[in-house]
Amino acid sequence: GQQLNQSPQSMFIQEGEDVSMNCTSSSIFNTWLWYKQDPGEGPVLLIALYKAGELTSNGRLTAQFGITRKDSFLNISASIPSDVGIYFCAGQPSSNTGNQFYFGTGTSLTVIP
Amino acid sequence: KAGVTQTPRYLIKTRGQQVTLSCSPISGHRSVSWYQQTPGQGLQFLFEYFSETQRNKGNFPGRFSGRQFSNSRSEMNVSTLELGDSALYLCASARRGTYGYTFGSGTRLTVV
């Protein structure tokens, strides 16, 4: 199935630094979701985006739905050790009826205290 | 508010056997989707059920099947298990449209 291009694949940052990651697709998407997954657990929904250009925050996290509807961005400000994990983007194509999401390959985040 | 509940959490099966996994969605959520997660392929969509009807299906062989009951609980079945079916199987439920698309903790299936 289709997968989104998510970058970077991994990041090693110092505590307190800001983080940026993004996802791109060749298809137009109606919905973008961002998740964080800890080892052995299911992904936890961080932010949901439903309109092109939409900018949404959840605490230190901010995500944007790209104007072209083919990309999305996630920023984490002032990282802390508990931000460690794998972050996934998920997109729902505009051609899709119902709930079928395509997932990015994930960004593994390591925060060095 | 209870989240999405998947049972069992861990399962070990032998090649050729069949397995049934269960998912109880969040109360009020009528859409249930299933995904397979492996290190090599990432998260891959299996199928989605809404009001007991399969609404979407991913590119998986017919050995993978599912169903949804009138209380929105869902099961997926994998027949004639292969080693490559070893994965974390995740279930996600949603209420209206894609709102609140929430995952369970998954079932870790190991085929030996």
Residues of chain A contacting B4 with CB distance shorter than 8 Å: 42
Mean pLDDT, to the nearest integer, of B66-82? Answer: 97
Q: Is the pLDDT of residue A7 over 70?
A: yes
Q: Is the pLDDT of residue A74 over 90?
A: yes
Q: Is the pLDDT of residue A50 over 80?
A: yes
Tell me which chain B residue has its CA closest to the CA of residue A91.
B98
CB contact under 8 A, A48 and B98: yes
pLDDT (tens digit per residue) in B31-56: 999 999 999 889 999 999 999 999 98
Question: CB distance from B45 to chain A under 8 Å?
Answer: yes
Residue among A33, A97, A106 minimizing CB distance to B101: A33
Q: Is the pLDDT of residue B25 over 70?
A: yes
pLDDT score at A100: 87
Confidence of residue A9 (pLDDT cuts 50, 70, 90): very high
Confidence of residue A2 (pLDDT cuts 50, 70, 90): low
Lowest mean pLDDT, pick from A73-87, B26-40, B77-91, B96-110 = B96-110
In total, the C-beta contacts within 8 angstroms joining chain A to chain B are: 74
CA distance A17 to chain B (A): 28
CB contact under 8 A, B42 and A44: no
| Total residue length of chain A | 113
Residues of chain B contacting A102 with CB distance shorter than 8 Å: 45
Question: CB distance from B102 to chain A under 8 Å?
Answer: yes
Residue among A1, A48, A88 minimizing CB distance to B45: A1
Mean pLDDT, to the nearest integer, of A55-62? Answer: 97
Q: What is the DSSP string of chain B?
A: ----EEE-SEEEE-TT--EEEEEEPPTT--EEEEEEEETTTEEEEEEEEETTEEEEE-S--TTEEEEE-TTS-EEEEE-S--GGG-EEEEEEEESSTTTT-EE---EEEEE-
Mean pLDDT, to the nearest integer, of B96-109? Answer: 87
CB B39 within 8 A of CB B88: no
Q: How far apart are CA B86 and CA B38, in angstroms?
A: 8
pLDDT score at A93: 85
CB contact under 8 A, B4 and A99: no
pLDDT score at B80: 97
